[in-house]
A and B are shown apart, each in its own frame.
Chain A
Amino acid sequence: AQSVTQLDSQVPVFEEAPVELRCNYSSSVSVYLFWYVQYPNQGLQLLLKYLSGSTLVESINGFEAEFNKSQTSFHLRKPSVHISDTAEYFCAVSDPMDSSYKLIFGSGTRLLVRP
C-alpha cells in the first residue's frame, strides 16, 4: 500500500526567504502526486498536481514541485514566501490502479512565515 512521508512537521521561515517542504512516497510503478494547502479555518485546497508529462509542475501563486521518480520524492518549493503563505501543506498520492482514486496523505507540514 502507498504511504507518504513528510519529514518536517513545522517549517519556520522569514518573509521573502526561499522554502522547501519535503515529501517522499513509497515506491510504485506509477503514481499521481498532489500538494494541498489548508489555510487557517479553511478547507483543503489543491495547490498543484503531477499526473504525467513534465516532472516540474507549478501553481498560480509561485509554488513549484518536481516529481523525482528515482528519489520517490515530490518536494514543494517557493523562491520567496509571503506572510500569506502561512498554512498547513499536505502531500498526497493516488494510485492510478486503484479504481477509487482515493488520496493517501502525509501528516502535513506547517509553514510559518515570519516578518
Chain B
Amino acid sequence: GAGVSQSPSNKVTEKGKDVELRCDPISGHTALYWYRQRLGQGLEFLIYFQGNSAPDKSGLPSDRFSAERTGESVSTLTIQRTQQEDSAVYLCASSLGAWGLFGFRGYTFGSGTRLTVV
C-alpha cells in the first residue's frame, strides 16, 4: 500500500481482556517497529523486526506484551490481560531496513491505534 496501515484506529476494551493490534507495513519494507505513546509523553520503543532475524524485544514493558511478524508482512501486537496503564496510542513504523551501509532509509509511521482500557 501507499503507507503504513494500522487497525483498528480506536479500541476500547475492558480491563483484563486481551487485545490484538495490527500493522500492515509498506510493501518491501523489511524493518518494522512498534512504539507506544502515552498521553502527554513521548514515544516509547517496544519492539523491532528486521526480516527473518530475531526481533529486538528490549522495549516490551512486561510479559503481557508480545508481537509477531512473519517475514516482511503484517505484524500483530498482542496485549494480554489489559490494564488501565496500557491505555495509549500504539504506533507502527516501517523502513526499508537497516541503514548502516546504505544511508538513512527513513521511517514511515502509521496513524496509530488508540487503545483505551476501562
A104 and B99 within 8 A (CB): no
Apart from A44-B91, A105-B35, list 5 A-B contacts with CB within 8 A.
A4-B42, A42-B111, A45-B109, A101-B95, A103-B35
Residues of chain B from 87 to 118 with CB closer than 8 A to chain A in the complex: 91, 93, 95, 98-100, 103-104, 106-107, 109-112
Given A101-B98, A102-B48, A46 contacting B42 (CB threshold 8 A): no
**Which B residues are in CB contact (< 8 Å) with A103?**
33, 35, 43, 45, 107
Q: Does A70 contact B (CB under 8 A)?
A: no
**Which A residues are in CB contact (< 8 Å) with B33?**
102-103
| A residues with CB within 8 A of B | 4, 6, 9, 32, 36, 41-46, 49, 51, 90, 92, 96, 99-108
**Which bucket holds chain B's interface residue count?**
20 to 34
| B residues with CB within 8 A of A | 3-4, 31, 33, 35, 40-45, 48, 50, 56, 59, 91, 93, 95, 98-100, 103-104, 106-107, 109-112
Bound-complex Cα distance A52 to B100 (A): 13
Interface of A is mostly: loop
**Which A residues are in CB contact (< 8 Å) with B93?**
44
**Which B residues are in CB contact (< 8 Å) with A41?**
111
**Which A residues are in CB contact (< 8 Å) with B91?**
43-44
Nearest 9 pairs of A and B residues by beta carbon:
A105-B42, A44-B109, A105-B43, A107-B42, A100-B48, A43-B109, A100-B56, A43-B111, A102-B45
B42 and A106 within 8 A (CB): yes
Bound-complex Cα distance A32 to B44 (A): 17
B41 and A96 within 8 A (CB): no
**Which A residues are in CB contact (< 8 Å) with B109?**
36, 43-45
Give 26 A-B contacts (CB < 8 Å), ordered by A residue.
A6-B42, A9-B40, A32-B104, A36-B109, A43-B4, A43-B91, A43-B111, A43-B112, A44-B43, A45-B109, A46-B106, A46-B107, A99-B98, A100-B48, A101-B31, A101-B99, A101-B100, A102-B45, A102-B48, A102-B59, A103-B45, A103-B107, A105-B35, A105-B43, A108-B41, A108-B42
